[in-house]
Amino acid sequence: MTDFRNLIEALILELEDLAQSSREATATVELDQTRQGRLSRMDALQGQAMAKDAERRRVQTLRRLKAALARLERGEFGDCIECGEPIADRRLRSDPGTTLCVQCASAIESSRR
């Protein structure tokens, strides 16, 4: 489990660093159209929207990873919250924030369709 702790902590640090460096991209777009053409402003607005969406996903991922650390502390990390069975190591390594085994995730996804 130490490997998973190190992996999760490294991912959290990486996401926090990325969030810090991308703060400028979500800054308010200038309204002064004398300094900036209409198309340039539209590009800037689109870039800002994309940056805000990326920030939202980063925050969501950070929450999932911090929750995974809490589960690790409680000794619950790696168990499916739906069926209680162990989640495959390979799945946890690719997404340490996951809370569902493949079977339960597939069943939930199928029921949404």
pLDDT digits (tens, 9 = 90+) for 20-33: 777 665 556 555 55
Give the end-to-end CA distance of the chain in Å, rounded to a whole number: 35
- Alpha carbon 113 to its chain centroid, in Å, reads 24
Q: Which of 90, 91, 97, 87 is nearest to 65 (CA)?
A: 97
Encode pLDDT of 57-99 as tens digits: 999 999 999 999 999 999 999 999 999 999 999 999 999 999 9
**DSSP β-bridge partners for residue 33:** none
Residue 112: pLDDT above 70?
Answer: yes
Q: In the prediction, which pLDDT does 51 show?
A: 85
Q: Which of 107, 105, 108 is nearest to 94 (CA)?
A: 105
